[in-house]
Each structure stands twice: as C-alpha cells, then as structure tokens.
Amino acid sequence: MRFVQILLLAGLAASAGGTPAEAAYIRIVGGAQSSAVEPIPGLEDQGYYDLTAAGGQLVEGVVVDGGGRIGEAGYAGGQSVASAAFGRLSALGGAVAVGPPLVLPSSGLIASGFTQAMWSDEVTLMPNDPALLFTPARFRFEVLLSGDGGVVLTTLANQGYGNAEYSASVEVGSCPVGCQFTRVGYWNSTSPTGFDGDPLPQALTGEVGVSLGSPFVLRVSMAANATVSVGGDGSVEAFSDLRNTVLWNGATVTDASGAPIAYRMQSTSGTDWSLPYAAPVPEPATWLTLVAGLALIGASRSRRLR
C-alpha cells in the first residue's frame, strides 16, 4: 500500500516534464470510472482530466454514475475533485457500489475515483549580507494536511471490498537522498481507522541543506484515491476527502548552528514561501459562484453518504 501511494506521487512528478516551460506551475490530474452500464442521464462518465497552468487556480470535478438510480441496486459511481494554487492543494477521491449487479451478476460492480494535485516553483534565498552569498544554509518547512477518509461496508462477508488512501510529498531541490518527504495514510474494509495510527489532520515537516543565492525547485504534490467492489447484495462506499486541503505553513532559514539568517525570498511565482498560505479575498461578484459551488459539494456529499 505504501509503495502504491509513493508511486502515484512519483508518477505525477515524473510526468511533469510534459508541462509548459515555466519554472513555476500548478497542475491537477484525476478521473473516475465504474463498471456499471446504462449511465444515468446528466451523470455520464466524464472521464479523465490533466490540467496545467502557470498561475492562478485550477479546479476540476468528475462524477461517474451508471446502472440504476443513485443508491439503488446495480448502481456504481466514482468521484474525483481537485484544485490547486500556489501554497494550497485540495482533492477528493470517492467511490460507491450498490449490489446486486443488474447485468452479469458474477462479474460484480467496481468503481473508483482518483485525484492528484501539485504546485512547483523555483526559489532563491538571497542573504542580506553579501558575504554569505553561496554559503550553506538550512531550509525548514511545514505543510498542514487536513481531511478525512473511511470505508462503509454493508455487504455480506467476502462480497464486497473498499479502500481509500492519501499521500502528500514535499521535494526541496534534488539530491540522491534526503530531499523528498512523504506522508501517507489509508482506510480499508479491515482497518478503517487509518494507516499506522496516522489519521488526519497531520503536519509534514522537513529540513534540507541549500546554498544561499543558488536557485532550487520547491514542489508539493498530493493524491487521494478510492476503490470499491461488490459482488452481491449490500453496498460499499470509500472516500479519501482532502478538500480541507494541504496548506503550506511557512519556512525558516538558519545557519548550521540553528541561528536565523536575514534573507530575501525570491521565487518565479512571486510567492514568499517564508509565510503560511493566505487565501485571497474573493471579489463581491464571485460570492454567488462560491455559494453555488458549496451547494453542489453539499449535494454531492449528501448523495455519497446515502
């Protein structure tokens, strides 16, 4: 399980080579699928998304539903919601299946939803004292992880399974070891309380050696995924909900002894990574859109929990 989660993050980072040439970018990837047939009108399979931008914010959602009416026999659906901005990542991977299957009962019902999100920036720490230029320093960061996850199983024994997982990773510069920090967790049918007693919220921290005045890459990525299957009566629901977000919580720079260094933070995105993420204040004209979006999320969550 841990290996799979780390591979998800590694795949997102490796495929970043296909992004635009800008050193700073945000990206979201996701999708959902189900084995159910006869999609419900208006909720057909919306497939897969892979969006990249040099700035601003990306938001995308996918819902896949099929079979009978939502929540009735033969229904299976996946959900994928992601957003990204510099300093803030948000994701939901969810899935539900309600048996028995209406077609080919022996094949069962399967559904899944997966999301990945990332921001990447190029950072330079310029010391106020020119004599410190290109000397070693220590860069220490904190990222806050907040959300929830779980599996609800109402099927008979051995007739259903559910799994949900999350992972978050911070990469500072590039070196053989010690530059990447990862935190993972999961819930499944047999261990619903979380991986290694690691329920959310959590803090992901790390410290890396850097050279003052030399640029380095700062990258944060995350994934949230869920998969369910049911082969008889009953239902299975799984979700990994990190829409409460992965937030950058600031950084400090010290010398080898731990003494603070006076410096100026420079980055390609224009973000001061010494400070925690601060959400922009919406313009009045955007409030109606926000309210509509919250209502949609509430309706989706209500439907998922039925």
Q: How many residues does the chain have?
A: 306
Measured CA distances, 133 to 106, 126, 173, 211, 268 (Å): 68, 7, 18, 8, 19
DSSP class per residue in 150-193:
EEEE-SPTTSEEEEEEEEEEEEES--SSSSEEEEEEEEESS-TT
274 close to 124: Cβ distance less than 8 angstroms: no
- Fill in the DSSP letter of residue 281: P
Burial profile 172-196: b = 16 or more Cβ within 10 angstroms, e = fewer: bbeeeeebbbbbbbbbbbeebebbe
Can you list the alpha helix ranges (DSSP code H) found in 15-79?
A: none
Residue 103 token pair: 């077609």
Run of H or E residues at 3: helix 2-14
Q: What is the pLDDT of residues 275-299, one digit of tens each?
A: 999 877 655 544 444 444 444 444 4
Q: Read off the amino acid at residue 111.
A: A
Run of H or E residues at 91: strand 88-99
What is the DSSP pairing of strand 25-34 with strand 48-53? antiparallel
Report the chain's mean pLDDT, rounded to a whole number: 82
Q: Which of 33-47, 187-201, 211-225 has the lowest mean pLDDT?
A: 187-201
Cα separation, 118 vs 250, in Å, equals 17
- Residue 304 scores a pLDDT above 80: no
What pLDDT is recorded for position 279? Answer: 73
Q: What is the pLDDT of residues 105-126, one digit of tens each?
A: 557 899 999 999 999 999 999 9
pTM, whole model, 2 decimals? Answer: 0.82
On the CB side of 142, CA atoms within 13 Å amount to 8
Chain centroid to CA 93: how far?
Answer: 9
> Looking at the DSSP assignment, which residues form a beta bridge with residue 125?
265
158 close to 122: Cβ distance less than 8 angstroms: no
Q: Read off the amino acid at residue 178.
A: G
What pLDDT is recorded for position 284? Answer: 53
> Percent of the chain having pLDDT more than 70?
77
Residue 132 token pair: 């410190």
